[in-house]
Structure 1
Amino acid sequence: MLRYIKRYPFSLLVISSVIYLSFFRPPSTDLNEIPYLDKVVHVCMYAGMSGMLWLEFLRNHRKFQAPLWHAWVGGLLCPVLFSGCVELLQEYCTTYRGGDWLDLLANATGSLLGSVFVYLVIRPRIWKTNCR
């Protein structure tokens, strides 16, 4: 466990922030009148989480070859599954927030966008080895 804390500190910080933002009661503001602003926030949160998981994976595996499918599982599949668990917990364990299938779709979209961006744009610049 301590190994993961040392190797993925920023990812754990982002995950903790997403957990907090998913379960706190947001204040009522004029921004609530903007339609689907909540979905944009979900896309940004999960794109950031997925991107950070990818970046730290690539940083930690620079010196030796690692299967790239590990990054796809950890950077795309895990955030989507995490998102599903959060939505279920919001639906059944909180009284002030309900789970929303559109939130899950927005979270999956954000995870996909973050993963694809890091894979296509950033990975070729920082991961010089030819990993499979």
Structure 2
Amino acid sequence: MGYAKLKNRILAGKGYKKTVLDWSLLSSWIATITFLSLIPANRVSMNFFYFSQADKVIHFVFYFGFSMLLFRLLYNSKMKIDRSILIVAAVIPIVYSGIIELMQEYLVATRNADFFDFAVNMIGAIVATILYRYLLRFEFNRFYTKEFS
């Protein structure tokens, strides 16, 4: 979003609070992912999950949420769905996931990169992007069907 467009939104009072909220949510989510992914493994407790692949569920939720929040931010700034939003909302979390996995391998002594973690992260980001797109389409159709019938 350009400076002039943001200035006009602020002056008009439309969407500025929503944009700040979207950025705040996304930034907090990314900070949480980064912190929990890079702290030493001996400081992470998984006692609340009692099945073998619980970490994969957490990875899916992390990147599902990341992609959903990013898609929401991009959609609210453009107010239309096009391919660029879909691609960006899926690719940025996937690339970030790869960077985090590499950081785990080379920067954190008690952690290792795991291809299956990366694969689950990708699946979470892609599922979120597709789901959000169809939820918006459903909401759009429901609104206009009710409004014009």
Q: CA deviation digits over 1:85-111, x for unaligned, max 9? A: 110110011101111000000100100
> Structure 2-normalised TM-score?
0.71
Q: Is the 1:90–1:97 Cα contact (8 Å) retained in structure 2?
A: yes
Rate the CA distance shift 1:19–1:121 in 2: closer, same or farther, 3 A.
Answer: same
Rate the CA distance shift 1:116–1:79 in 2: closer, same or farther, 3 A.
Answer: same
CA RMSD of aligned residues (A): 2.6
Aligned equivalent of 1:51, options 47, 63, 68: 68
Q: What residue in structure 2 maps to residue 61 of structure 1?
A: 78
Aligned equivalent of 2:100, options 78, 86, 98: 86
> Does the alignment pair 1:119 with 2:136?
no
* Aligned positions of 1:1-132 closer than 5 A: 6=20, 8-25=23-40, 26-31=43-48, 34-62=51-79, 68-125=82-139
What is the number of equivalent residue pairs in this alignment?
Answer: 123
Structure number, greater radius of gyration: 2
Tell me how far 1:36 sits from its aligned partner: 0.6
Q: Is the 1:91–1:99 Cα contact (8 Å) retained in structure 2?
A: yes
> Structure 1-normalised TM-score?
0.79
Unaligned runs of 5+ in 1: none
Q: Is the 1:58–1:123 Cα contact (8 Å) retained in structure 2?
A: no
